[in-house]
Amino acid sequence: MEDKAMLPTIRKRSSNPFYMSNLFDDDFFPVLSNMTSSMPAVNIKEDEKNYVLDLAIPGIDKKDMKIDINEDVLTISSEIKNEAEENKDGYKRKEFSYSSFCRSFYIPENVNREKIAASYKDGILNIELPKQEEEKAKIARQIKIS
């Protein structure tokens, strides 16, 4: 099996530049694109023992976040729906909002999936993906014949 680098999964877009879904996905209308969806910034680091993902997700409760692993893909997502209604002095006001995001990453083969851990502090979601310990080098020795 080939090694895969830990990279974000890329959405497939139409090659037609006038395809309607691309119109609002691109920064052609930056104000509209920022209001409809957000993609958290991510830093990916690697050291001898771990891969570490830090996602900037300020203002979201950890109860609204979801982290899933499906085969070779780690997916971080959130969906928030808010609704407020006010009846006061002969008028009625009803507001609602919706926000969501989803980011997916390939998990390298050498990650110990059982020991993946996540923490959330000060708007940063930290996910540690520990590498599996490599087999220790086998010691060469000679066997006596009896």
Residue 45: CB atoms within 10 A of its CB come to 9
The domains of the chain, with CATH numbers, are 39-130 (2.60.40.790)
C-alpha distances in Å from residue 96, one per residue of 39, 67, 93: 21, 26, 10
Q: Which amino acid is at 81?
A: K
107-133 tens-digit pLDDT = 998 999 999 999 999 999 999 999 988
Rounded to an integer, what distance in angstroms lies between the CA atom of residue 81 and that of residue 83? Answer: 7
pTM recorded for the entire structure: 0.63
C-alpha distances in Å from residue 42, one per residue of 69, 74, 90, 97, 118: 18, 14, 48, 25, 14
Divide the 146 residues of the chain into consecutive groups of 10 and give the mean pLDDT of each group: 52 41 44 55 92 93 92 91 86 86 91 93 94 68 70
